[in-house]
Amino acid sequence: MRDDNDYMRLALAEAAKAAEAGEVPVGAVVVAPDGDVIAAAHNAPVGSHDPTGHAEIRALRDAARLIGNYRLTDMMLFVTLEPCAMCAGAISHARIARLVYAADDPKGGAVMHGPRFFEQPTCHHRPVVEQGPFGEDAAAMLKDFFRARRKS
């Protein structure tokens, strides 16, 4: 049986795909209650010409299509970076049961930082939120990506 480390490794592999494509390296994985990975995606707003093309949104869309329901009740989402406000809203609407993220995002995050989306009285569904494994790895991948972009 897989555990949080395995799922986050899959999300990190998705983040690496984003970096290879010149996108901000963020990856996400949706996991069903039985432990099966039903969707995996990486950031692609630039390549898809879609401002909503964040890893979380793309993974949630794929999972919803697969099961034929926009509500992903009892499912888990593993993501390499603390979600932004847009993604937190989508996570809430999808009714994700558990959100596990690797790296904090003090500047753009909206779960533990900024607006703390799930703590707002207007938020209708609040997943269990945990900072999971490989936060340093995810943060290093992001730092390396932006460092390389500044040099070019």
List active site positions. Answer: 56
- Find, among 63, 112, 114, 121, the residue nearest to 90 by Cα: 63
Distance (Å, whole) CA 25 – CA 145? 7
The response to whether 123 counts as a known ligand-binding position is: no
- Find, among 60, 53, 105, the residue nearest to 78 by Cα: 60
Walk across the sheet containing 27-31 and list its strands: 37-42, 27-31, 76-81, 98-103, 128-131
25 Cβ neighbours under 8 A, 6+ residues apart: 15, 16, 18, 19, 42, 43, 80, 141, 142, 145
Rg (CA), the chain: 14
As annotated, the binding site for Zn(2+) includes 54, 84, 87
As annotated, the binding site includes 54, 84, 87
